[in-house]
A and B are shown apart, each in its own frame.
Chain A
Amino acid sequence: MMLIHCPHCGARDVTEFTYGGAGAARPADPAAADDPQWADYVYMRDNPRGLHDELWQHSAGCRRWIAVRRNTLTHDVIATARPGELPPR
């Protein structure tokens, strides 16, 4: 069972969290985005073997959404932060 360090609460069992996927930056003006750009934002997500920046919600805790950098191969949690505030890789 993974242990995730919530930036607000500390280390907690993964059962307190809900997975929220990779997340993606929303086009600033959706109406101006063309179909491929929009489809890219809505549907396309990388599924890397290795480091993956993803969003989790501490749903059974502080209810904050947090950013988690995780190794999908080893399940190591490398870093956690507020959304958008993970250090550069």
Chain B
Amino acid sequence: MNTQHHRLSQGGLIDRGQPLTFRFNGRKLQGYAGDTLASALIANGIHLVGRSFKYHRPRGIFSAGAEEPNALVQLETGARTEPNIRATQIELYDGLVATSQHCWPSVGTDLGAINNLLSRLLPAGFYYKTFMWPPSWWMKYEHWIRKMAGLGISPRKPDPDFYEHRHAHCDVLVAGGGPAGLGAALAAARAGARVILADEGFQPGGSLLHETAIIDNLPATDWLARTLAELSALPEVLILRRSTVCAYFDHNYLTVAETVSPAAAGMPRQRLWKIRARRVVLATGAIERPLVFADNDRPGIMLASAARIYVNRYGVRPGHRAVIFCNNDSAYLAALDLHRCGTHVAAIVDPRPFAGEEIAAQTRAAGIRMIHGHAVVRARGSRHIGAVEIMRCENGLATGPVERVDCDLLCVSGGWSPVVHLFSQSKGRLHYDENLTAFVPAVSAQAEQSAGAARGVYGLAHCISDGYAAGSRAAASCGLNPPAALARLTVHQPAVGSILPLWKVEAEHTRRAKSFIDLQNDVTTADVALAAREGYVSVEHLKRYTTLGMGTDQGKISNINGLAILADINAAQIPEVGTTTFRPPYTPVTLGTLAGTEIGAHFDPLRTSAIHAWHEQAGARFMNAGLWKRPRLYPLAGETEMQTINRETLAVRRTVGLVDVSTLGKIDIKGRDACTFLERVYINRWRNLAVGKTRYGVMLREDGMVFDDGTTTRIGDEHFLMTTTTANAVRVMSTLEYWLQVHWRELDVRLTSVTEQWAAMALAGPGSRQVLAAVASADVGDAALPYMAYLETDIAGCPARVFRISFSGELAYEINVPADCGAAVWTALLAAGQASGITPYGTEAMAVLRIEKGHVAGMELDGRTTADDLGLGKMLAADKDCIGKRSLTRPGLAAADRRQLVGLVAVDGRSPIPRGAQLVAGNNHRPAGPIMGHVTSTCYSPTLERPVALALLSGGRGRYGERLRALSPLAGANVEVEVTHHVFYDPEGKRLRG
């Protein structure tokens, strides 16, 4: 059954041979291929599609394009549902399901509409003013305000589709496939340029798709087809359909969101193009502005250009009895088109004393009544417009008797605004053109140019040739010979000229009615006036206070009216008021498109050690360390995490443990001046380090604060291996390169990051030597490999570097093997240690071991601590310079009250000391300031059988034995602690030398 009672019997670019069935609010309806959802709804006589954001007023289809403020629908259901999609841009397909948003129980009967009656209680800034007090209640308010606010519903299920990104380069990118864009693409392509033409529509052509003009004796649509055919035949031209140039970034880098069609398995749903263009032509056209008068939001009111599009392109009749209200000539074309399709045009209401000669003659010939010097002051009707009230009008003030004209369609036009969004994003400067009453591009900031209506050039012939000229210039600036000049176009189209600024219409009897500026966010003239009265005179403040232009349409049709009205209130000129900032994207882009394939496991690169598979098999729980996955612990069945950590820690203290430390940064340093380089980088001495020896080093930033620490080994006379902390590996490498390449270019030193070339593991515990000896080919006894020595040997047939260093405080060896050998050597060590109960341990136990031993780590190296603060001051070599040394003489870095590294133990022997706790005086009931320090690292020490912590405490080294409170309001803890030396375990270091 054909439901399309408002479909014209002929005309339009729809395929009447291809009917499509769809559902809107549960109703089964029919449209044709080539329809948008909006045109199909109008064909079915449906105008009421949604309720407004704040007042829940009935709203209809207002435009026919990207600027649509009202006709936003919830598209599809379930995992594929999408909120706030413009019905005017949805390409109709068979089986489409859409529903109205923001209404309950239905769009026809919406209980939220009570807000309209309460509107006096909901002025601009209502939420800011009402929900301020008491401050702590905001959390409560926010919960239900969020429930009330918003339009559509976001999907709650994982997205079943995938998205992709594509990079492209071109000579000329043309944004917009209307007359100017086609002209530009044609010129650039004829010159041999590599051209990408992106158009947001499913049919490129822009206004050519609905113009009735004749170009070179061809209907506009035939001229369009001919031009597209020529472009498509050129190998260097890429035409992107359904592709919105959504953002313009630095250095001619633009992104284009493409909807892939037809949807098919194995194909992405959308594609984000990232295009670097040598030149850009912005042919983005212009958007018609509405007029502001009482109740100007009723369904059945639409832009005059939209009415033309629905009649000419889609072959639907948006109304049977129309009134046109305009301040310029272009809307007269709508009257003529409507008249031609059989709609009765009751009147054209125009505040100007007369219209352009040619268009007026045509209108008169069609017998259409023209009411000059008048304005529509109010629309009547609620769910649909039923009539308009017309009064004499001068400078926006309506006076005299009211004439009522019945209608079911009101077409409005307040002039045109060039789409300068991309131009503004490119940082170009706008200029306000009084004659056009519009902002137009003035000064370019990047290698781009605007063409056609996007720069205020109107009329088909002008737009095509303006585009052609822009395309020629673009090709020329790419070093190509410009194409042959465009043959003179003969276009039959009436001239449309003058415009009379008209920003709002006021009449005494409509004072209390609402005149909407921003239809999507329900911002009225009264809201703007209130904001101005309250001092929000900057347009950026006005925007945020009233939410003007802050909807998903970003105020495409409302911004100019809003700022003109603000200028009027402040008795300022429009250019003084200026525009708000245009921000990407031009139209909303779904997050999936921006994320592309970088989701789930691909969100971040993943770094795993060569031994990772073993850790997984052993049931390790992992932590993220930057991009690395590191085993935290290896729980046995039935263990709590605490039990695991204690077991792993005690295994190292009592027998032997094995930990993967592959993530430590490793930098290979070679060259004649390698040693000199280290002398300058580290605070301590390196000249006297013998080959085959290892030393702990500390490096500073130039401001004197500790930057990083680690061991460096002299592998050969001019060959060192430096290790860094996991967190700083990248930064240290980059910094060392900086010093060598920028400041010390005379040094002969080469740096290579070898972090990933070597798998590294630490074998620690009293039994470690025995385990190592069982697998190493070389003698690893204390004489051959004493504390802080290094040797090369074979382990399980793999070449290995063995360093006798200890982070745990036990006899320990760090073993580096080529990454490929990592897993083999790891398992060989475990096998060799099986009899002695070797225990793999993770970062948790490693942290406990180092806290017990008082070693500093990232929590202590917080960028505010000097070497002396950390008890490492004695390392500083007196007779040489190094990075940061000069800063240490600043008085502030030698002050007695600096926070120094200390240990803390819980006095009661059992209360955990919370991380980040502040150290204060006082007692259990009343802690007392000032804050004297803070806890940096904390753990339960299974060795000492009590909680311990490291802390930074003002003048700490002079306060051993003092009792303080560790206070953490976050953890709800107030623990009595005693200050101790920071080395809790084996302070003489007997065990690691054992």
Nearest-neighbor residue (CB-CB) of A82 within chain B: B741
Nearest-neighbor residue (CB-CB) of A77 within chain B: B251
Whether A65 touches B737, Cβ cut-off 8 Å, given contacts A33-B886, A38-B887, A42-B887, is yes
User: A64 to B887, Cβ gap below 8 A?
Assistant: no
Does A23 count as interface, using CB distance less than 8 angstroms?
yes
Whether A42 touches B703, Cβ cut-off 8 Å, given contacts A18-B734, A83-B741, is yes
User: A74 to B251, Cβ gap below 8 A?
Assistant: no
Residue-wise, chain B 852-888 has the 8 Å CB interface mask toward A (1 for contact) of: 0000000000000000000000000000010001110
Does A63 count as interface, using CB distance less than 8 angstroms?
yes
User: A3 to B742, Cβ gap below 8 A?
Assistant: no
- From B737, B743, B745, B890, contact of A35 by CB (8 A): B890
Which of chain A's residues 17-74 have a Cβ closer than 8 Å to chain B? Answer: 18, 20, 23, 26-27, 30-31, 33, 35, 38, 41-43, 55, 57, 59, 63-65, 74
Closest chain-B Cβ to A38's Cβ sits at a distance in Å of: 5
Does B738 count as interface, using CB distance less than 8 angstroms?
yes
- From B702, B734, B890, contact of A59 by CB (8 A): B734
- Which chain B residues lie closer than 8 Å to A59 at the CB level? 734
User: A30 to B742, Cβ gap below 8 A?
Assistant: no
User: B886 to A31, Cβ gap below 8 A?
Assistant: yes
- From B250, B734, B886, contact of A38 by CB (8 A): B886
Does B754 count as interface, using CB distance less than 8 angstroms?
no
Number of A-B contacts (CB under 8 A): 52
Closest chain-A Cβ to B464's Cβ sits at a distance in Å of: 32
Nearest-neighbor residue (CB-CB) of A37 within chain B: B886
User: A30 to B427, Cβ gap below 8 A?
Assistant: no
Does B33 count as interface, using CB distance less than 8 angstroms?
no
Closest chain-A Cβ to B728's Cβ sits at a distance in Å of: 14
Closest chain-B Cβ to A53's Cβ sits at a distance in Å of: 12
Nearest-neighbor residue (CB-CB) of A63 within chain B: B737
Q: Give the CA-CA distance A41 to B887 in the complex, in Å.
A: 11
- Which chain A residues lie closer than 8 Å to B886 at the CB level? 27, 30-31, 33, 38
Does B223 count as interface, using CB distance less than 8 angstroms?
no
User: A3 to B276, Cβ gap below 8 A?
Assistant: yes
- From A33, A43, A65, contact of B738 by CB (8 A): A65
User: A83 to B251, Cβ gap below 8 A?
Assistant: no
Which of chain B's residues 275-306 have a Cβ closer than 8 Å to chain A? Answer: 276
- Which chain A residues lie closer than 8 Å to B734 at the CB level? 18, 57, 59
- Which chain A residues lie closer than 8 Å to B250 at the CB level? 1-3, 14, 75
User: B887 to A1, Cβ gap below 8 A?
Assistant: no
Closest chain-A Cβ to B736's Cβ sits at a distance in Å of: 11
Q: Give the CA-CA distance A1 to B276 in the complex, in Å.
A: 9
User: A65 to B741, Cβ gap below 8 A?
Assistant: yes
Whether A1 touches B890, Cβ cut-off 8 Å, given contacts A65-B741, A65-B742, is no
Does B354 count as interface, using CB distance less than 8 angstroms?
no
- From B251, B702, B703, B885, contact of A75 by CB (8 A): B251
Closest chain-A Cβ to B182's Cβ sits at a distance in Å of: 28
User: B741 to A30, Cβ gap below 8 A?
Assistant: no
Closest chain-B Cβ to A74's Cβ sits at a distance in Å of: 6
Residue-wise, chain B 352-391 has the 8 Å CB interface mask toward A (1 for contact) of: 0000000000000000000000000000000000000000
Q: Give the CA-CA distance A28 to B742 in the complex, in Å.
A: 14
User: B887 to A26, Cβ gap below 8 A?
Assistant: no
- From B427, B703, B737, B885, contact of A57 by CB (8 A): B737
Q: Give the CA-CA distance A38 to B886 in the complex, in Å.
A: 8
Closest chain-A Cβ to B877's Cβ sits at a distance in Å of: 13
Q: Give the CA-CA distance A72 to B635 in the complex, in Å.
A: 54
Interface centre among B702, B881, B885 (most CB of A within 10 A): B702
- Which chain B residues lie closer than 8 Å to A33 at the CB level? 886
Q: Give the CA-CA distance A41 to B881 in the complex, in Å.
A: 16
- Which chain B residues lie closer than 8 Å to A3 at the CB level? 250-251, 253, 276
Residue-wise, chain B 735-749 has the 8 Å CB interface mask toward A (1 for contact) of: 001100111010000
Q: Give the CA-CA distance A55 to B738 in the complex, in Å.
A: 9
Does B249 count as interface, using CB distance less than 8 angstroms?
yes
- From A2, A26, A31, A38, contact of B743 by CB (8 A): A26
Does B85 count as interface, using CB distance less than 8 angstroms?
no
Q: Give the CA-CA distance A3 to B885 in the complex, in Å.
A: 37
User: B703 to A43, Cβ gap below 8 A?
Assistant: yes
Nearest-neighbor residue (CB-CB) of B881 within chain A: A30
Q: Give the CA-CA distance A33 to B742 in the complex, in Å.
A: 20
Nearest-neighbor residue (CB-CB) of A18 within chain B: B734
Residue-wise, chain B 944-960 has the 8 Å CB interface mask toward A (1 for contact) of: 00000000000000000
Q: Give the CA-CA distance A1 to B745 in the complex, in Å.
A: 31
Closest chain-B Cβ to A23's Cβ sits at a distance in Å of: 6
User: B742 to A83, Cβ gap below 8 A?
Assistant: yes
Interface centre among B738, B742, B743, B890 (most CB of A within 10 A): B742
- From B427, B702, B738, contact of A20 by CB (8 A): B738
Q: Give the CA-CA distance A30 to B884 in the complex, in Å.
A: 9
User: B881 to A31, Cβ gap below 8 A?
Assistant: yes
Q: Give the CA-CA distance A59 to B250 in the complex, in Å.
A: 20
Nearest-neighbor residue (CB-CB) of B743 within chain A: A26
Q: Give the CA-CA distance A75 to B276 in the complex, in Å.
A: 16
Closest chain-B Cβ to A32's Cβ sits at a distance in Å of: 9
User: B743 to A74, Cβ gap below 8 A?
Assistant: no
Does B445 count as interface, using CB distance less than 8 angstroms?
yes
Interface centre among B881, B885, B887 (most CB of A within 10 A): B887
Whether A42 touches B702, Cβ cut-off 8 Å, given contacts A3-B251, A75-B250, is yes
Q: Give the CA-CA distance A14 to B249 in the complex, in Å.
A: 12
Closest chain-B Cβ to A62's Cβ sits at a distance in Å of: 11
- Which chain B residues lie closer than 8 Å to A38 at the CB level? 886-887
Closest chain-B Cβ to A16's Cβ sits at a distance in Å of: 13
- Which chain B residues lie closer than 8 Å to A20 at the CB level? 738
Closest chain-A Cβ to B505's Cβ sits at a distance in Å of: 42
Nearest-neighbor residue (CB-CB) of B884 within chain A: A42
User: A64 to B742, Cβ gap below 8 A?
Assistant: no
Nearest-neighbor residue (CB-CB) of A38 within chain B: B886
Closest chain-A Cβ to B329's Cβ sits at a distance in Å of: 39
Nearest-neighbor residue (CB-CB) of A32 within chain B: B886
Whether A1 touches B251, Cβ cut-off 8 Å, given contacts A30-B885, A38-B887, is yes
- Which chain A residues lie closer than 8 Å to B702 at the CB level? 41-42
Interface centre among B276, B741, B890 (most CB of A within 10 A): B741
Whether A64 touches B741, Cβ cut-off 8 Å, given contacts A1-B249, A18-B734, A42-B703, is yes
Q: Give the CA-CA distance A84 to B746 in the complex, in Å.
A: 14
Q: Give the CA-CA distance A40 to B639 in the complex, in Å.
A: 57
- 4 tightest A-B CB contacts, nearest first: A30-B886, A1-B253, A3-B251, A65-B741
* 28 A-B interface contacts by CB (under 8 A): A1-B249, A1-B250, A1-B251, A2-B251, A3-B250, A3-B276, A14-B250, A18-B734, A20-B738, A30-B886, A31-B881, A33-B886, A38-B887, A41-B702, A42-B703, A42-B887, A43-B703, A55-B738, A55-B742, A57-B737, A57-B738, A59-B734, A65-B738, A74-B427, A74-B445, A77-B251, A83-B742, A83-B745
By a beta-carbon cutoff of 8 Å, the part of chain A in contact with chain B is 1-3, 13-14, 18, 20, 23, 26-27, 30-31, 33, 35, 38, 41-43, 55, 57, 59, 63-65, 74-75, 77, 83-84
Q: A42-B887, A65-B738 are in contact. List 7 more A-B contacts (CB 8 A).
A: A1-B251, A33-B886, A43-B703, A59-B734, A65-B742, A83-B745, A84-B742
